[in-house]
Amino acid sequence: MTQLKDLQTDDNSYNEALPNICDIVKHSATSCCSTKTPKKYLPILEWLPKYESSFLLQDIVAGLTVGLTTIPQAIAYGTVAGLTPQYGLYSAFMGCFVYIIFGTCKDVTVGPTAIMSLMVQTHVTASADYAILVCFLSGAVTLLMGILDLGALVQFISIPVTTGFTNAAAITIASGQINSLFGIKSPTNQFLPSWRIFFTNLNKMQRNDAILGVSTLFILLLMRKIKDIPCRYKILTKYIAMSRNALAVIIGIILCYYLSDSESLAFRVSGEIVSGLPPFRLPPFHTQVNGTEVEFSEMIQQLGASIITIPIISVLESIAVAKAFSMGKIVNASQEMVALGIANIMGSFVSSMPVTGSFTRTAINNASGVKTTLGGVITGVLVLLALAFFTQIFYYIPKATLAAIIMAAMIFMVECDRIAEIWRAKKLDAILFFITLLTCLFWTLEYGIACGIVLNMLFILYKSARPNIIITTERVENVDIAVVDVQKNLSYASAEYLKTRIMKHIIAHEHAIKKVVIKGDEIFGIDSTVALNILALKTDLNAMNCQLLCWNWQISSAGVVCRLHRDARDLFKFSKTLKEIILLDISPQSLTTIHNGIESTLIPL
């Protein structure tokens, strides 16, 4: 009763609580004109003035180390995407340069990744222009999400869904390289078709490619463990392990060059890479396929759901990488969206495919002791030098070598430990994981993660619609009472469920129950749907000679019911025990106090 009385108020208190609109405008104008605003969207203005000369050497070493991994990976991922290798290099250098200005995490390296390449691959069979256009569109969507401060949206996608997606992507990408590893020609990189082609074309396996591919894969896996070998030159083994991809490419090039003759090559190669810097031009808003002009609207139809799914996946991947290496710092998800969006938009002007944060290269960056995002400049310069001077050498990179590099990376993307953790923690989450995994594998990645997200939302809605409600029957002074304990907040989805449970309980006891008491200690807020169902329940129970009482409800929840119907004030009782409700007569003075308390909640909002 004290709580109810304390909540008495009038319309003037609401008017006093309303903020002055002039103060809001003034505060917004002051915030926009302050020095914090450009620093918020341009993090380089925050760290560059504080840059120390001692950071430079470590940033250069880290940039070079990451660059030696970026170049072979960019070439490989360009191939995975169904494009010529230079598209991967274009993506790598633009991602590096843009992120140093707009990025917030010093360790993150933005560029082409295996997942992005696979998602693009299904759309570029007709023309590479589709990859560039989806890069621009996904960048625009991501940038808009960042500007609108929608970073919190990524929290609505659960770990079982993302784990199922990343595992499916890793398995699909590795499966797509199985034919290249053994020198078998394959027109597809998809999961089932790749294995079907492999097993039906074993007689077309190339001996040289198979030997090179399998041995390279084996050596790469061994080199990953070199850093764990105890020795005096720990720093040397560490950098050898981190540079394993570059070493594999160099050895592959040397073998291909010296074992080939003027008539034929010793291995299947990736083909020529266009040398020089990429041309700076507008993204292709129309294209030609087999001599036929394709308009922008038709290209959009061809890209379909990928315009939304690719930005979502790129944001998830990039923010997950940033959080993994944030070292306790809070990751500004919205600013990461801005950085990623601008990187993709700018990349589309230099013929880039979609980019995002790379876990592998970020881990190398972190292990190399990078101090600021300036290390990305060194990586970007190294990629530009490769484009300008080494493209003729890259012609001799064997496809088997690139396939081994990709498969070695994908093996460690399959999170077996995480799968076991999800299974031990909750079996329902494991079901969600397996459904996402299988849908991604046997349908497409876009629709697979969409199915996972929708299914996850359905699980949440179902839990909301089925709160934990415990109904017990107690006998107080020869009166049978049904005590309803709602152990979760009520929402519109659970309104009908509450009513149905109570009615079934009354019918099961053959109408012997004379009072239904709904405990409201844990009901902190309801909507009009719940309130209407409470009133309907009262009417239905009255027809069965049973009284409904709401015991110790929160005032905010009681007010919603009372605003719908003033006579509903009599439903709410406030006492310490059930016995008081049944036996004690409420004096007129106490009744007036309760009514006045609830009356205060009836003031129009």
Average pLDDT over residues 42-57: 85
For residue 35, what are its two tokens? Answer: 């020095």
- Please report the pLDDT score of residue 18 as a whole number: 41
- Mean pLDDT across the chain: 81
Q: How far apart are CA 377 and CA 380, in angstroms?
A: 5
Bridge partners for 287 per DSSP = 294
- Please report the pLDDT score of residue 321 as a whole number: 80
Instruction: Kindly provide the b/e burial profile for residues 117-128, where b requires at least 16 CB atoms within 10 angstroms of the residue's own CB.
Output: bbbbbbbbeebb
Share of the chain above pLDDT 70, in %: 89
Q: Which uninterrupted H or E stretch holds 245? A: helix 244-259
pLDDT digits (tens, 9 = 90+) for 329-377: 777 888 889 999 999 999 999 999 999 988 778 877 887 778 888 888 9
Q: How far apart are CA 88 and CA 497, in angstroms?
A: 54
Average pLDDT over residues 210-231: 84
Whether 356 and 108 have beta carbons less than 8 Å apart is answered as no
* pLDDT surpasses 50 at 95: yes
- Please report the pLDDT score of residue 570 as a whole number: 82
pLDDT grade for 138, boundaries at 50, 70 and 90: very high
- Please report the pLDDT score of residue 34 as a whole number: 56
CATH C-level class of 467-602: alpha beta
pLDDT digits (tens, 9 = 90+) for 5-26: 433 343 443 344 444 545 544 5
Average pLDDT over residues 173-196: 86
Share of the chain above pLDDT 90, in %: 11
For residue 257, what are its two tokens? Answer: 């060059």
Q: Which uninterrupted H or E stretch holds 218? A: helix 207-223
- Please report the pLDDT score of residue 5 as a whole number: 42
pLDDT digits (tens, 9 = 90+) for 244-287: 888 888 899 899 988 888 778 888 887 777 777 788 889 999 88
- Please report the pLDDT score of residue 139 as a whole number: 94
Whether 364 and 175 have beta carbons less than 8 Å apart is answered as no
Question: DSSP code of 226?
Answer: G
pLDDT digits (tens, 9 = 90+) for 101-132: 998 888 888 999 888 888 888 888 778 899 99
Q: How far apart are CA 333 and CA 153, in angstroms?
A: 9
First to last CA, the chain: 22
Q: Which uninterrupted H or E stretch holds 428? A: helix 427-442
pLDDT grade for 38, boundaries at 50, 70 and 90: confident
Token pair 């003031």 in the structure block, residue: 603
Query: What pTM was computed for the model?
Result: 0.72
- Please report the pLDDT score of residue 135 as a whole number: 93
Q: What are the sequence ranges of the domains in the chain?
A: 77-151+158-171+204-414, 467-602
Alpha helices in 466-511 (DSSP H): 492-508
- Please report the pLDDT score of residue 2 as a whole number: 42
* pLDDT surpasses 50 at 601: no
* pLDDT surpasses 60 at 480: yes
pLDDT digits (tens, 9 = 90+) for 312-332: 888 888 887 887 677 767 778
* pLDDT surpasses 90 at 137: yes
* pLDDT surpasses 90 at 409: no
- Please report the pLDDT score of residue 448 as a whole number: 84
Average pLDDT over residues 150-156: 74
